[in-house]
Amino acid sequence: MKRKLFWMLVIALALALSACGGGPSGGPGGNENVEPAATEPPDDSSEANTNEETPPEEGPQLAAELSVYNWPDYIDEQILADYEAEYGVKIIYDTFASNEDLLAKLQAGATGYDLVFPSDYMVSQMIELGLLAEIDVNQLSNWGNIDPDFKNAPFDPGNKHCVPYQWGTTGIAYRAGHPFFEENPPDSWAYLFEPEMLEQYSEGGVNVLDDQRELLAAALAYLGHDMNSTDRAQLEEARDLILAAKPYWETFNSSDYDSSLLVPDEVVLSHSWSGDAAEAYWDTYSDETEDGNWYYAIPKEGAVKWLDNICITSFSERKETALHFMNYLLDAEVGAAITNFTFFASPNEAARAFITEEILNNPGIFPPEDVKAKLTWLVELGDAVFIYDEMWTAIKG
């Protein structure tokens, strides 16, 4: 695919909107699709069949198979194929649509998974539930490649359970060329929540992420509250804001909305993760117009920044092989290949030398400092998770 230099339209949180955005000055980038595997990994596994090759770092005996549970469209299949070819380990690959789906699957007894990729707030919850194995990052020869800003995160002090994988933001994807957005490029969460705003374009379709924490965080941000608020009154206010907007929304989709809704123009606006908006841009890119159909904005009220992580399950019987594959993913060139494919930002500092210039210089992927100042990590909620569950039941009901 021919990829030209582009820029996401990023609403600088301390600055006014620039023009109408779009294309080389306002569109995000993208990736290819990875077909998710439907196979459930077996619950009985062993280290019996080992690889004859000796990896350069420690030379552990590797299992014949490794089961990986990741988000959709989140790694170049070639990376998996290269690892299989070099080390003789068959990767069994499966995908989940949300952190809550991941947690539910593991709690329901899916003990065949070795490596999982939870987001920040879910990591701390899974640690508390005893679902993640402890690791020693000193055993990872590529640990030094990680940017110090992404080490020792509050949800996993000392990186005793996980290592960083990819990070990004959550904002608004909107259809380029839509008459309303041509005059009024989205710069606020009002475009997702205010009925009088939604009336201008909702007939074309609006999607929100089917993700409890992300949707409530966006509503809390718009209302001027902490995106990790545990205050019942504030959460009820967010719930009511969402319920008022819900009649204008066509879908709750966080699994394949980029390919099933954005690309075929089933909607004109979507709550979106940065890389998915990027994928939609490039999947609709035209050499003739030198532009794609989808742009991305970070609302001025602030937004979620997230960090997805590589973790080993506490019930994995192939921990040495899981550590070996984890270290492989932290390699500088492999880390760059992941970002060049997904168009999400990499926490791998050494990988920057191999990441394409169009990604490194894209403020929608690597936001400028004034935008980063308004971004917030989602954190573990403690007992307030039950209030969130109550709000979510009302929203989805």
222 and 325: one domain?
no
Q: What are φ and ψ of residue 280, in 5° steps?
A: -65, -35
pLDDT at 190: 98
Closest to 316 (Cα-Cα) out of 71, 58, 110: 110
| Token representation of residue 187 | 């710069």
Closest to 307 (Cα-Cα) out of 274, 335, 347, 275: 347
229 and 279: one domain?
yes
- 67 forms beta bridges with 92
User: Which phi-psi region, left, alpha or beta, contains residue 204 (left: φ > 0; alpha: ψ -120 to 50)?
Assistant: alpha
254 and 178: one domain?
yes
pLDDT at 59: 63
105 and 194: one domain?
no
d(CA 261, CA 270): 9
Q: Identify whether 57 is part of a domain.
A: no
213 and 295: one domain?
yes
Q: Identify whether 93 is part of a domain.
A: yes
Judge whether 281 and 186 are in contact, CB under 8 Å: no
| Token representation of residue 377 | 């990590």
How deeply is 300 buried, as exposed, middle or buried, from its count of CB atoms within 10 A (0-12, 13-18, 19+)? Answer: buried
Q: Identify whether 286 is part of a domain.
A: yes
281 and 158: one domain?
no
Domain of residue 264 covers: 168-305+374-396
d(CA 119, CA 189): 22
Q: List for the chain the helix, strand, coil content (%; round to 5).
A: 40, 15, 45
| 3-state SS, residue 319 | helix
Q: What is the DSSP letter of 286?
A: B
Q: Identify whether 152 is part of a domain.
A: yes
Q: What are φ and ψ of residue 219, in 5° steps?
A: -65, -40
286 and 391: one domain?
yes
221 and 275: one domain?
yes
According to DSSP, the β-strands at 162-175 and 303-312 are antiparallel
Q: Identify whether 228 is part of a domain.
A: yes
293 and 233: one domain?
yes
d(CA 129, CA 34): 30
Judge whether 352 and 346 are in contact, CB under 8 Å: yes
Closest to 267 (Cα-Cα) out of 234, 286, 293, 228: 293
- Which residue reads 């969402």 in tokens? 242
Q: Identify whether 388 is part of a domain.
A: yes
| 3-state SS, residue 270 | strand
Q: What are φ and ψ of residue 216, in 5° steps?
A: -65, -35
Cα dist from 280 to 18, 20, 274, 387, whole Å: 22, 19, 10, 34
Instruction: Render each residue's pLDDT in the chain as its tens digit; 397 residues.
Output: 223 333 344 433 333 333 333 322 233 333 333 333 333 444 444 444 444 444 444 567 999 999 999 998 899 999 999 999 999 999 999 999 889 899 999 999 999 999 999 999 899 999 999 999 999 999 999 999 999 989 999 899 999 999 999 999 999 999 999 999 999 999 999 999 999 999 999 999 999 999 999 999 999 999 999 999 999 999 999 999 999 999 999 999 998 999 999 999 999 999 999 888 988 998 999 999 999 999 999 999 999 999 999 999 999 999 999 999 999 999 999 999 999 999 899 999 999 999 999 889 888 888 888 998 999 988 888 899 999 999 999 999 9
Q: Can you give the CATH number for the domain in which 318 is found?
A: 3.40.190.10
- Biggest CA–CA distance in the chain, Å, is 65
190 and 284: one domain?
yes
Q: Identify whether 310 is part of a domain.
A: yes
Number of domains in the chain: 2
97 and 222: one domain?
no
229 and 98: one domain?
no
Degrees (nearest 5) of the Cα angle 23, 24, 28?
65
- DSSP character string of 30-59: -----PPP-PPPPS---S-S--SS--SSS-
Q: Identify whether 202 is part of a domain.
A: yes
